[in-house]
Amino acid sequence: MDHLFRHHSGKMVSVLTRIFGLKHLDIIEDAVQDTFIKASISWRKEQPQNPEAWLTQAAKNRVIDIFRKLKSQRNHLPSLSLGTDTIAINELFLDTEIEDAQLRMIFTACHPKLDPRDRISFALKTVSGFSIKEIASALLTKEDTIKKRLSRARKAIQKNDLKFSIPNGKLLHNRLESVMEVLYLIFNEGFHSNTKTQLIRSDLCGEAMRLCQLLLRRVAIRTPEVYALFALMCFHSARLEAKINSDNELLDLKNQDRSLWHFPLIQLGNTMMNKAVEIDSLSCYHYEAAIAAEHLRAKTFEDTNWKKLLYWYEQLNHLQPMPIHQLTMAVISMQNNEYSKAHAFFNLLKPNDFEQRAYLFYAAKADYFFETDNFNNALIYIDKALKTVTNTLEKNYLEKKKSNWLS
């Protein structure tokens, strides 16, 4: 049910919003939630042949029931009597129209009149069915903060009477940047989750890729940046099966079975990158895709071109300065045995730069001390990493590393 809700809730919320309007979004979301509760009960005996069609029809009926109870049918509902109105509404449930409704929802969620932080929270809730807890985890913030952001977004939509539409011209380009940021965030939460028990959430990776494909199906939206973003998703997804072994242990790049990397996804990513580089200026998605491709290009860990990777990260950090990029450059410098350069990068950073992911800083610093024969400090920092890491698989990985150091 969780997977089904993730896959279909965004579709239902979008198409029902297109029918009933943004001003009824709260009721629509409640109706979709009620529909899944109803499904979880009625499907215990027998699951319908077409679960998505069942859910969509049930959600539409639930909204209508709620509006009738509120005695607002005449003012707020489209006519659902037999005739042309019914035909028009039914046509909105065709696959192409559902895709259009989802694109409208994505671009509405990323409207410039919404606060940037509120846009991301709102998009994750309405487009991809994230719970408030999941959004808080993905954005590294508190659940109460997310509730406030969602409330502000809905109030801004009402106050500014935002239209449920896809913008044109320059407005489209500006809005698209925000849309890509949201899809990137959804994918990242799947590829490296902040949840305690799961490191990989392939359903979220698949959802981000599906939404990115929706963008690529529209000529006006099919930009080099979108191609680069989709290529990045393909390259990372190709390695998902190799990140965890049969004993449910996290494997780093050095110990992954590269024969498990999914070659068709790598090929698709390469095809997308060929389309993405048909311009002179490159985006952060171009550089991140180039980094992912460089790892895939190496037949073994020892064959990795670390100098090329450092170059790509330098370009990425120049375009988009971030502590995580500098931390990665420190790690790459260690792979090149350039410990003085790694030390210089570490000096630019502090644990608070990484908030809930501070353990990444501590773990990298522990590796630095271990490689430079400062064993006591290595143990101090790996213990700091163990105290701050929340994911069980990552904690086990660090504990195993510490045990190997002590043996």
Predicted confidence band of residue 3 (pLDDT cuts 50, 70, 90): low
Residue 290 in any domain: the answer is: no
pLDDT digits (tens, 9 = 90+) for 89-118: 566 666 778 788 889 999 999 998 998 889
At residue 83, the pLDDT reads 46
Predicted confidence band of residue 197 (pLDDT cuts 50, 70, 90): confident
Say which CATH number the domain at 117 has.
1.10.10
Of 138, 170, 187, which one is at a domain's C-terminal end? 187
Better-scored residue on pLDDT, 194 or 363: 363
Residue 170 in any domain: the answer is: yes
pLDDT digits (tens, 9 = 90+) for 135-160: 887 676 789 999 999 999 999 999 99
pLDDT digits (tens, 9 = 90+) for 252-288: 999 999 999 999 999 999 999 999 998 878 999 999 9
Residue 45 in any domain: the answer is: yes
Q: Are residues 84 and 102 in the same domain?
A: no
Residue 122 in any domain: the answer is: yes
- Name the least confident of 167-176, 188-197, 251-260, 306-315: 188-197
Q: Are residues 152 and 177 in the same domain?
A: yes
Range of the domain at 179: 95-187
At residue 292, the pLDDT reads 97
Q: Are residues 87 and 102 in the same domain?
A: no
Residue 87 in any domain: the answer is: yes
pLDDT digits (tens, 9 = 90+) for 358-369: 999 999 999 999
Residue 300 in any domain: the answer is: no
At residue 90, the pLDDT reads 61
Whether 77 shows a pLDDT value over 70: the answer reads no
Of 93, 114, 138, which one is at a domain's C-terminal end? 93
Q: Are residues 89 and 99 in the same domain?
A: no
φ/ψ region of 114 (left if φ > 0, alpha if ψ in -120 to 50, else beta) reads beta
At residue 84, the pLDDT reads 46
Distance from C-alpha of 153 to C-alpha of 49, rounded to nearest angstrom: 37
Structural domains in the chain (count): 2
Whether 85 shows a pLDDT value over 70: the answer reads no
Q: Are residues 173 and 150 in the same domain?
A: yes
Of 67, 93, 119, which one is at a domain's C-terminal end? 93
Residue 342 in any domain: the answer is: no
Q: Are residues 2 and 88 in the same domain?
A: yes
Predicted confidence band of residue 196 (pLDDT cuts 50, 70, 90): confident
Q: Are residues 6 and 73 in the same domain?
A: yes
Q: Are residues 84 and 119 in the same domain?
A: no
Q: Are residues 107 and 85 in the same domain?
A: no
Residue 359 in any domain: the answer is: no
Q: Are residues 5 and 85 in the same domain?
A: yes
* Most confident stretch, 57-61, 205-209, 397-401: 397-401
Q: Are residues 10 and 32 in the same domain?
A: yes
Q: Are residues 6 and 54 in the same domain?
A: yes
